[in-house]
A and B are shown apart, each in its own frame.
Chain A
Amino acid sequence: MTLYGIFFYLISAVVIAATAVAVTRENLLHAVVYLIISFFGTAMLFYLFGAPLLAALEVIIYAGAIMVLFLFVVMMISSRPSGEALFPPRQFLPAVFFCLLYLLVAAAMAVQTPGLNAPLQTLTASPRLFATYVFKYHWFSIEVISMLLLVAAIGALNLGTAGRPGVKKDVPEQPEKPPTGSNPGAQVSGRTED
């Protein structure tokens, strides 16, 4: 076994262990931090497989942006413990059964298929080569993805401001609010006059 092989098995053991710990945590904060460890390990795997640009993007976007977004939401919202029943058996047992069945079949297929047992060679796609390839053959998908990100940003902004009472909203909500707000005031003032 070469040095790269030892690296691969070590990193994948760390990734699987960190993910398994993250899945079973009750505290959401701990789960997110363990998943950050798992995504760092995935970035190392990408580097090992010869994709340095994707390794950097994995650290920046997954471990940096997405997980920090999760951390923000968890810290902003769930200040108290959720009281979640961890692993109710009605969902736990079928899920374990199907996951193990799937893993057995997948492992058997991966081992038995003939062309898959040749060891991977170490090759590196430099960022320049990769970027040239992407913008030569997949430029239209890049444009579609950028539009998708723009639409998602607008949608998230709209959803984030939707539930607030103080934010100016669409027309049909406004006539409803003043009567509900003025009715208690009118009753209170009527009682004080009585």
Chain B
Amino acid sequence: MIAPFSHVLIVAGILFALGAFCAVVRRNLIMIVLGIEIMLNAASIVFVAASLHLNNLDGQSFVLFILAVAATEVSVGLAIIVYAFRRTGSFDPRNFNLLR
């Protein structure tokens, strides 16, 4: 007996909202990628708890794939950020509104 599943959903919802808030409000490319990481993390909490709630291992398998996709996204995203910083010398997303 741990806790009701709805409480896990609420905790993960708060985490997801914090991540979305971070990705929308912060004016820094690294903080935007961190916000996306927080959102992925909240989603994986719900997957693991639902796997326990429904007695089905598919949820845990999906968390494995979320981990791999997060690692991929971070490696490519940080490479793009470093490249953009070398070109313009700033982290502000306002400086990256040109498509070239």
Contacts and interface: CB of A to CB of B under 8 A. Distances in A.
Contact of B9 (A28, A116, A137): A116
Contact of A92 (B4, B15, B25, B51): B25
Majority SS of interface residues in chain A? helix
B9 A106 contact: yes
Interface in A97-155: 99-100, 102-103, 106-107, 110-111, 113, 116-123, 125, 129-130, 133-134, 137-138, 141, 145, 148-149, 152-153, 155
B5 A133 contact: no
Nearest to A145: B68
A28 B78 CA distance: 14
Contact of B79 (A9, A77, A160): A160
Interface residues of A, number: 86
B97 interface: no
Nearest to A25: B31
Nearest to A164: B86
Contact of A110 (B10, B21, B27): B10
Interface string B67-100: 1111110111011111101110011100000000
A8 B2 contact: yes
A62 B75 contact: no
B38 A19 contact: yes
Tier of interface size on chain B: 35 or more
Contact of A130 (B6, B9, B57, B85): B57
B53 to A, nearest CB: 6
A186 interface: no
B90 to A, nearest CB: 8
Closest 10 CB pairs of A and B: A159-B79, A110-B6, A152-B72, A156-B79, A110-B9, A99-B17, A163-B86, A23-B22, A116-B6, A12-B11
Interface of A: 2, 4-5, 7-9, 12, 15-16, 19-20, 22-23, 28, 31-32, 35, 38-39, 42, 45-46, 48-51, 54, 57-58, 61-62, 65-66, 69-70, 73-74, 76-78, 82, 84-88, 91-92, 95-96, 99-100, 102-103, 106-107, 110-111, 113, 116-123, 125, 129-130, 133-134, 137-138, 141, 145, 148-149, 152-153, 155-156, 159-160, 162-163
Interface of B: 1-11, 13-15, 17-22, 24-28, 30-31, 33-35, 37-38, 41, 44-45, 48-49, 51-53, 55, 57-58, 60-61, 63-65, 67-72, 74-76, 78-83, 85-87, 90-92
8 contacts: A4-B3, A19-B15, A58-B67, A74-B30, A111-B6, A113-B6, A122-B1, A134-B57
